[in-house]
Structure 1
Amino acid sequence: MNRRRTAAAVLALCAAGALTACSSGPAHPGAAAVVGNDRITVATLQSHVSAFQSAAVGDSAAQQQAGVSQKTLALLVSEQLVDQALAKEGKSVTEGQVQQVEAAYLQQAGSAQALRQAVVDNLFLAPADLEIYAHLQAGQVLLLQAAGVDPSSSTADSALQQIVAKASGEIGVTVNPRYGSWDAKALTLAAADQPWLKKTASTTA
Structure 2
Amino acid sequence: MHRRRRTALLLTAALTAAAPLLTACGNDAHPGAAAVVGGQRITVSQLENRVDEIREAQQAAVPDEAQYQQAVARTGGLTRDTLHSMVLDRVLERAARDAGVTVTPKEIQRMRSGLEEQAGGAEELESAWLQQYGVPPERIDDNFRLQLQAQKLAQRLGTDTSRPEFWQALSEASKKLDVDLNPRYGTWDDEKSSRVDAKTPWVREVTGAAAAQPVA
TM-score, normalised to structure 1, is: 0.71
Distance 1:107 1:192, change over 3 A: farther
Q: Is 1:134 the counterpart of 2:140 in the alignment? A: no
Measure the CA separation in 1 of the matches of 2:140 and 2:44. 20
**What is residue 53 of structure 1 aligned with on the other side?**
55
Measure the CA separation in 1 of the matches of 2:197 and 2:149. 26
Q: Secondary structure at the match of 2:163?
A: helix
Measure the CA separation in 1 of the matches of 2:129 and 2:179. 26
Q: Secondary structure at the match of 1:28?
A: coil
Q: Any conservation in 2 of the 1:12–1:122 contact (CA below 8 Å)?
A: no
Measure the CA separation in 1 of the matches of 2:37 and 2:4. 28
Q: Kindly state the Cα deviation for residue 134 of structure 1 after the two structures are TM-superposed.
A: 1.3
**What is residue 40 of structure 2 aligned with on the other side?**
38
Q: Kindly state the Cα deviation for residue 46 of structure 1 after the two structures are TM-superposed.
A: 1.0
Measure the CA separation in 1 of the matches of 2:186 and 2:2. 26
Letter in 2 for 1:28: H
Pairwise mapping of residues 75-90 of structure 1 onto structure 2 (< 5 A)?
Answer: 75-90=85-100
Letter in 2 for 1:29: P
Letter in 1 for 2:48: Q
Letter in 1 for 2:37: V
Q: Kindly state the Cα deviation for residue 162 of structure 1 after the two structures are TM-superposed.
A: 1.4
Distance 1:86 1:9, change over 3 A: closer
Q: Is 1:179 the counterpart of 2:185 in the alignment? A: yes
How many correspondences in the alignment? 183
Q: Any conservation in 2 of the 1:83–1:139 contact (CA below 8 Å)?
A: yes
Distance 1:10 1:161, change over 3 A: closer
Identity of aligned residues (%): 29
Measure the CA separation in 2 of the matches of 1:100 and 1:192. 41
User: 2:128 aligned to 110, 115, 118, which one?
Assistant: 118
Q: Secondary structure at the match of 1:56?
A: helix
Q: Secondary structure at the match of 1:189?
A: strand
Measure the CA separation in 2 of the matches of 1:113 and 1:134. 16
**For structure 2, which runs of at least 5 residues remain unmatched after alignment?**
13-27, 207-216
Q: Any conservation in 1 of the 2:168–2:191 contact (CA below 8 Å)?
A: no
Letter in 2 for 1:161: W
Q: Kindly state the Cα deviation for residue 40 of structure 1 after the two structures are TM-superposed.
A: 1.6
Measure the CA separation in 2 of the matches of 1:126 and 1:199. 27
Q: Secondary structure at the match of 1:83?
A: helix
Measure the CA separation in 1 of the matches of 2:176 and 2:31. 22
Q: Kindly state the Cα deviation for residue 56 of structure 1 after the two structures are TM-superposed.
A: 1.1
**What is residue 109 of structure 2 aligned with on the other side?**
99
Q: Over aligned residues, Cα RMSD in angstroms?
A: 3.4
Measure the CA separation in 2 of the matches of 1:91 and 1:199. 41
Tell me the alpha carbon deviations over residues 3-47 of structure 1, each in whole angstroms, 9 at most, x when there is no partner.
xxxx999644556548xxxxxxx7533221222122222111111
Distance 1:68 1:195, change over 3 A: same
TM-score, normalised to structure 2, is: 0.68
Measure the CA separation in 1 of the matches of 2:170 and 2:102. 15
**What is residue 15 of structure 2 aligned with on the other side?**
none
